[in-house]
Every structure is written in structure tokens, then in C-alpha cells.
Amino acid sequence: MIAAKNIYKSFNGKYVLEDISATFEEGKTNLIIGQSGSGKTVLLKCLVGLHGVDSGEVWFHDMEYAALSHRQRSEMRRKIGMLFQSGALFDFATVEGNVMFPLALFSGMSKGEQRDRAHACLERVNLLGARALRISELSGGMQKRAAIARAISLKPKYLFCDEPNSGLDPKTAILIDALIKEITVENNITTIINTHDMNSVMEIGDKVIFLHSGKKWWEGTKNDILDAENVELNEFVFANSLAKKARRMM
Amino acid sequence: MMELGVNSIAIVAIVSVFVGAVIAIQTALNLMNAPYYMVGLATRDSLILEFCSTMIALILAGKVGSNIASQIGSMRITEQIDALELMGLNSACYLILPKILSMVIFVPFITIFSIALGILGGLAGMALTDNLTVSEYIEGIQRDFTPYYVTYSIIKSMVFAFILSSVSAFWGYSVQSGTQEVGRNSTRAVVTSCICILMFNLLLTELLL
Ligand SMILES: Nc1ncnc2c1ncn2[C@@H]1O[C@H](COP(=O)(O)OP(=O)(O)OP(=O)(O)O)[C@@H](O)[C@H]1O
Ligand SMILES: [Mg+2]
């Protein structure tokens, strides 16, 4: 469980997040949705501690992140897997090297075990064949998938995904969503996903938080979202005409 | 990491040979009335004292410095540094320290290499023009040699290597967002390193000679 309490975050005096409170539950896929620029990435980075917050608290279970000592913080970070919006794969290593990187640092496994684990992770994202390639040789979608493999390599307790399926074709996007959901349930992970893909919302939106210009505008589940009475949310949800038609038919 | 320096060997070699030749020829032309051995001696000492440490550091600041800054800068904007941080690593230590170390170790060797090639370049200069015979030049090279000058040169080159790698890493690391900033900061890295190198050159000359 992760809880955010009254988070404020500004850059150069301009507030990007204002008074965000939310809880993200274990074993569930928690979604943060919102338009481009609404503050999703900043919120995610505040939650994992990559951005300091102006005020407010982030709790991982019963521990407040800001109150942790340096050492506790490092330990905590080992339990976090994160998929960055840009992939953030290390271009000094191969695909396999990237997935093995956190394993080599923290797992205490032998080289052979690390490689086996890396292969298992790559297998899950259907990328085993590309394990020897350099990052620059991958397509955008392959980079996303490799980044997912790296994020799950250490079997994290907390998984953060910044737009895991943007830039993927619809079929792969569904596979990735399903994979994240599966891992979440299997290992009882607290998973937080940024997305603006309504497909993902309808597939895996156990809990959905809608951000609008840095504020939490709405909160609910995928079942409530279609008949929520909220102008901005409706604009977001029914932005594409297919969804509009679906709504008229309801 | 070694690639940082290794890729620069060709340019260092070319510059050293040509500058060596030019220094020798100019000294020969300017020292018409001085003893013949002065040409070799002056060429050797100016290469050791000034050219090979300072000029090479300036060349490397341009080549390696901008490379370090843009590499670290693009790691910043592609969130690779965030990823390292999130894994609980101190990204600054992890990325910058090895670069500084390898430069501080490697640049003195490049400097010595450059001294050798510069002296050979001077020799070629003498062979190709008729100012001085090659053996007169060689005699000058061997005359009144002060080993301390080489030590001085190596110390300078290590300090310069430290300056150019750390200054460039700093500029790369301080990129916040956007590819434009990567370009801007790698230019800044080169300019700042060059200025620092020149200032420290003055300081070290005062202190060490
Ligand atoms: N490092 C930063 N410095 C200054 N402003 C920033 C910084 N990072 C983000 N912002 C601002 O914060 C706001 C929210 O950005 P954020 O990246 O969280 O959007 P997002 O919801 O993730 O959008 P997208 O869907 O396009 O990724 C934007 O207006 C952006 O300009
Ligand atoms: Mg984003």
C-alpha cells in the first residue's frame, strides 16, 4: 500500500501538483490518468522520491518516505521497480545487460543465476531473441518492453509504470497491460500506472485517479468511470468518437 | 571508459608532430647567431614545459570534454540518471568518478607520447629544411636535460585531466531538460574547462617552477 497525503509540488514557483491525496492498494493496478502535462509523471516521481515534494507525505505501508534514513531509503528503493516514460535503458549496456544490471547490484545471485533470471524476465515480455542487441538497435516498443523486464527483474514490491504502452501497437499494448496485471496479482505488488489510454483503463483500472491541471479531479474504478458526472473527466474519457458512440448506446 | 582518450590519440599525434616541426624550424630561424645546439634544446623544453601538457589538455577539453558533457547530459534527459538513482546508486559517483580516474591516469601517457612525437617532428623539420643538420639537432636535444621538467609536465597534465573531466561532467550533470540544453552545456563545458586549464597553468607554473 502506498499513500500520498496532501502533496504539493512546484517548479520555479508554479504549482504542478496541488493537494494530491490518494491511496494505492496492494495486488491492484492503480491507474493515474490525465491529459498530457497534467502532472502524472511528476506525481509518479514524487511518489518514488525522485522529486522532493514542497509539502505533503508519501507513505509506503507504515513508513513515511521522507522520515527514512539514507540507508533505509536505499533498501526501500530496491523494492521499487520503475518503468520510465522514455524507457531510461542504459545505452552503455545490451538488453540483457540492462536487465541484469539491478540483479548484479542487489540480488546476490551468481552470474549464471542472474542471466537465468534476466532471460526469464525477457521471455515474459517476449524479447528473449533481442537480448544481445544494443539499446539503439531496438524499436520504441521493444525499448518499452525491455524496460519492463528490467523493472520486474528484482521482483519488486512496488511497481511504477509511466505510460507502459504508449508507442505500442494495440495488440502488444493489451499484452503488456495483461502482463503487468498478472505480475501484480501474482506477487501482490502495489502497482501504479500512468496512462492516457482508455483501453488500459477499461482493462486493468482497478482503481483510477484522474488528474487535471495538477489537481485530483476524480477517483473511482473502471466501472464508475463511464457514467461519472464530471465535465473534464468526460471530455477526457470520451475524447475519441468510438467511446462517444459507446456512451450513446448505454 | 578508455575510449575517451584512445579516440584522441590520432589528433594528438598529428598536432604534436606538426607543432614539433614548426617550433624547431622557427627556433632555428630566430636563433641565427646562437649556438647551434640551442635549437634542439629550446624545442625540447618548450614541448615539455608548455605545449605537450597545456595544448594537449586544451585539445582534449574540446574533444573529450564535450563528449563527457553530452553523454552525461543525454543520460539525464533520457531519465537514465533517474533510473540509476532509483536503484539506490549515487549516480554522480557511478558516472563521473570512473571518467575522472581514467582521464587522470591516461592523459599523462598521452602527454609523454606527445612529447616524443613532437621531438620527432622537430627532427623531421630539420631533415626537410636546411637550417640545421639532423645530428646538430639531436645534440641539442640531449644537452642540459632537466628531468624535473618532465615531472612538472606530468603533474600539470594530471591536474588538467582532472579539471577537464570534472568540469565537463559537472556541466553534463546539470542538464535539466531538453536536447538543446545538452548542446549548450557541452559548449559551456569546453569553454569553462579551457579557461580553468589556462588559469591553473599560470598557477602551477608559479608554484612548481
Ligand atoms: N523538471 C521540471 N521543471 C519544470 N517544470 C516541469 C518539470 N517537469 C515537469 N514540469 C512541468 O510539470 C507539468 C506536468 O508535467 P508531467 O511531465 O508530469 O506531465 P504528464 O502528465 O506526465 O504528461 P505526459 O502525458 O505528456 O507525459 C508540465 O507543465 C511540465 O511543464
Ligand atoms: Mg508523463
Q: What are the Cα distances from residue B98, in Å, to A32, A100, A216, B165, B189? A: 39, 20, 44, 10, 18
Pick from A183, A182, A148, A149: nearest CA to A166:
A148
A45: Cβ below 6 Å to ligand 1?
no
pLDDT in the model for residue B16: 95
User: Which of the four pLDDT bands, split at 50, 70 and 90, describes residue B98?
Assistant: very high
Mutate: best of B86, B90, B177, partner A, most A CBs <10 A: B86
CB contacts, 8 Å: B70 with chain A: none
Cβ–Cβ under 8 Å, residues A62 and A38: no
The ligand placed nearest to the CA atom of residue B181 is 1
Give A 93-132 residues with CB within 8 A of chain B.
Answer: 101-102, 105-106
Q: How far is B199 from chain A (nearest CA, A)?
A: 34
Q: What is the mean pLDDT of residues A49-67?
A: 93
- The proportion of chain B whose per-residue pLDDT surpasses 70, expressed as a percent, equals 98
Q: Would the CB of A156 count as within 6 Å of ligand 1? A: no
CB contact under 8 A, A50 and B89: no
* CB within 8 Å: A78 and B87: yes
- How do residues A2-28 score in pLDDT, each as one tens digit? 999 999 999 999 999 999 999 999 999
- pLDDT surpassing 70 at residue A231: yes
A30-34, A153-157, A233-237: least confident range: A233-237
Q: Are A181 and A29 in contact (CB under 8 A)?
A: yes
Distances from the Cα of B176 to the Cαs of A46, A102, A163, B74, B169, in angstroms?
A: 16, 25, 21, 10, 14
pLDDT at B1: 52
All residues of chain B having their beta carbon less than 8 Å from the beta carbon of residue A84 are: 79, 82-83
Query: What ipTM goes with this model?
Result: 0.87
* Closest among B129, B87, B109 to A103, alpha carbons compared: B87
Q: pLDDT digits over A119-159, tens only? A: 999 999 889 999 999 999 999 889 999 999 999 999 999 99
Of B82, B85, B87, the CB nearest to A105: B87
Q: Are A164 and A148 in contact (CB under 8 A)?
A: yes
pLDDT at A160 > cutoff 80: yes
B84 versus A250: which is more confidently predicted?
A: B84
Q: How confident is the model at residue B2 (pLDDT cuts 50, 70, 90)?
A: low
The order of strands in the sheet holding A29-33 is A80-83, A158-162, A190-195, A29-33, A207-212, A215-220
For B83, which of A73, A84, A106 is closest by C-beta distance? Answer: A84
Please provide the average confidence, as pLDDT, over all residues in chain A: 91
Q: What pLDDT sits at residue B88? A: 84
Query: Which residue in the set A45, A88, A105 is minimally distant from B80, CB to CB?
Result: A88
pLDDT tens-digit readout, A186-226: 999 999 999 988 888 999 999 999 999 999 999 999 988 88
For the Cβ of A85 lying below 6 angstroms from any atom of ligand 1, the answer is yes
- Read off the pLDDT band of A34 (50, 70, 90): very high
Answer whether A71 touches B (CB < 8 Å). no
pTM of the entire predicted model: 0.86
- The answer to whether A74 contacts B88, with C-beta atoms less than 8 Å apart, is yes
Check CB contact under 8 Å for A73 and B88: yes
**Average pLDDT value for residue range B35-61:** 93
Atom of ligand 1 nearest to the CA of A45: 18
The nearest CA of chain A is from the CA of B88 a distance in Å of 5
Q: Which band of pLDDT confidence, cut at 50, 70 and 90, is reported for residue A247?
A: low
Nearest CA to ligand 1 atom 29: A37
Q: Does A135 touch chain B (CB under 8 A)?
A: no
For residue A166, what pLDDT band results from cuts at 50, 70 and 90? confident
The sheet with strand A2-11 has its strands ordered as A14-24, A2-11, A55-60, A63-64
**Interchain contact, B82 vs A74, CB within 8 Å:** no
pLDDT the model gives residue A28: 94
Interface check A45 vs B, CB under 8 A: yes
| Percent of all residues in chain A with a pLDDT value above 90, rounded to a whole number | 71
Task: Report whether residue B177 contacts ligand 1, using a CB cutoff of 6 Å.
Answer: yes
Q: Which of B75, B78, B82 sits opposite A50 (nearest CB)?
A: B82
Residue carrying C-alpha cell 643538420: B133
* pLDDT for residue B26 is more than 70: yes
* pLDDT, tens digit, 9 for 90 and up, residues B102-140: 999 999 999 999 999 999 999 999 999 888 888 999 999
| Atom 25 of ligand 1, nearest CA residue | A36
Is there a contact between B86 and A48 if contact means CB atoms under 8 Å apart?
yes
